[in-house]
Structure 1
Amino acid sequence: MADIFEEVDDDLKEENYKKLWDRYGKYAAALVVLVLFGALGGVGWRDYVKSRQIGYSDEFGRAVELAQAGNNADAASVLSRLAEDANSGYAMLARFREAATRRMNKENSAAIDIYETLAGDQSIEPLYRDLAVLLTVMMQAGSGDPAGLSERLIPLVDGGPWRHSAGEYLGLLALRQGDVPAARKRFQTVADDPEAPAGIRGRAAELLRTLDR
């Protein structure tokens, strides 16, 4: 069971941060500059904001490079500072990436604390709050209370963008509780959904075959 949790976790981990970076990395600087310059005016303020955004982007990129090189502690330190100093878009990205880096550094409690903070942060979009909930559950799925964790995932399967991963984890958590019919239903829903990512559908189908043996 632990191997399954790790495989699902790996599917989400880097791909979701890439999506977040793609969304904010390209547009955050221009958006913040336009809003602040439009409201406050002044070439000096515009140039200051632009320089700050470039700095945030460079720091985020440096942290990613450190993590990829295995320097997780240094990467986490850079990201923690960035999360405190940057605008909301970069701060959110930095917090997600810091949590992932701390996970890689076996600092699981610290990572969960960051995800929980993100999950409760009403200033960020529901999409990312839901992602934080999902990642929190994923980190605890092998050892936490399966009933309580399942309750947190149920809202995510109702048409949300994380519904496939949430459905898969609900199936795994049902297995932990010994509820094979509920697990089979969750896996079948995921396996039958043409919009589900291939990796998730494949795992769900394999789990169904295992349950039928």
Structure 2
Amino acid sequence: MVDIFDEVSEDLRHERAVNLAKRYGGLLLLAAILVLVGVGGQQFWQARKARLANQAATQYLALTQTMDQPQGQLTAGAADAAAQKLVDFSKSAPEIYKTMARLRAASLYANAGELPKAALLWSRVGADEAAPQLMRDAASLLFAQHEIGIDNNADILGRLQPIVQESNPFHGLAREMQAMVYLNEGNIAMAKSLFTQVQDDPNTPQGAQNRAQAMLAKLNG
């Protein structure tokens, strides 16, 4: 009798499974396909992302190899043309290469005397939240360096403010730029205070310390 009940129970389970398969088999198959597509899709996008990064690296190196010579050997026209190629490349490049291309193009524009074009690129990199923070800070410093006396001082100081924090590796250079802004405004007391901080900060690059010391000597002379 037990065997009969077992067989009936097994038959019922089998029948239930068949009915479930008939009713929901399509949905279960679809769910399984979606899972597989999700996993495969993720792997596909990761592979595609890696492939695009490799392509971008190759393109970036190809573009910059012809520029890797002393800036004095590049005519203004050649530098301008090279910078434009980098700008065009940056429009479709992955984030890190986009940022690198913009910074390199800005440098070429600056050396070619095209400061407004350089400043525009530095400003864009500095405001790009997807770009690496150190690159954003470097771009803001370069913008400040070239725009003192040209751009609004309040705008420059606003760009420098996040960088002057002690935890930022560029804080000494940012303070030096702040001092130059105040000096340009005629606020000698604030400029001297900032130059003194730069001069006395052991974590500031030696070159910046030396420049601050020289400026203090002139201002105190």
* Contact 2:175–2:198 (Cα < 8 Å) also in 1: yes
Equivalent residue for 2:164, pick from 157, 160, 171: 157
CA distance in structure 1 between the aligned counterparts of 2:51 and 2:171, rounded to whole angstroms: 42
Look at both structures and tell me which one has the larger radius of gyration over its CA atoms: 2
- Alignment correspondent of 1:102: 109
CA distance in structure 1 between the aligned counterparts of 2:64 and 2:118, rounded to whole angstroms: 18
- Alignment correspondent of 2:206: 198
CA distance in structure 2 between the aligned counterparts of 1:50 and 1:157, rounded to whole angstroms: 36
1:131-172 per-position Cα deviation (integer Å, ceiling 9, x unaligned): 222221111113333343223212211121221111111111
Q: Report sequence identity in percent.
A: 24
CA distance in structure 2 between the aligned counterparts of 1:157 and 1:49, rounded to whole angstroms: 33
Equivalent residue for 1:57, pick from 61, 67, 77: 61
How many residue pairs end up in the alignment? 177
Structure 1's unaligned 5+ residue stretches are: 1-37
One-letter amino acid matched to 2:139: A
Alpha-carbon offset, residue 51 of structure 1: 4.9
Please, what TM-score do these two structures have when normalized by structure 2? 0.69
Please, what TM-score do these two structures have when normalized by structure 1? 0.72
Assess, with a 3 A threshold, how the Cα gap between structure 1 residues 189 and 41 changes in structure 2: closer, same or farther: closer
Aligned-pair RMSD on alpha carbons? 2.8
* Contact 2:79–2:108 (Cα < 8 Å) also in 1: yes
Alpha-carbon offset, residue 49 of structure 1: 5.8
Q: Which has the higher contact order (CA 8 A, sep 6+)?
A: 1
Query: Does residue 120 of structure 2 align to residue 113 of structure 1?
Result: yes
1:22-52 per-position Cα deviation (integer Å, ceiling 9, x unaligned): xxxxxxxxxxxxxxxx832899997776455
* Contact 1:66–1:72 (Cα < 8 Å) also in 2: no
Assess, with a 3 A threshold, how the Cα gap between structure 1 residues 73 and 45 changes in structure 2: closer, same or farther: closer
Query: Does residue 170 of structure 2 align to residue 170 of structure 1?
Result: no
CA distance in structure 2 between the aligned counterparts of 1:186 and 1:165, rounded to whole angstroms: 11
One-letter amino acid matched to 2:169: P
Tell me the secondary structure at the aligned position of residue 72 of structure 1. helix
CA distance in structure 1 between the aligned counterparts of 2:104 and 2:88, rounded to whole angstroms: 12
* Comparing 58-67 and 83-92, the one that deviates more: 58-67
Structure 2's unaligned 5+ residue stretches are: 1-41
Query: Does residue 95 of structure 2 align to residue 91 of structure 1?
Result: no
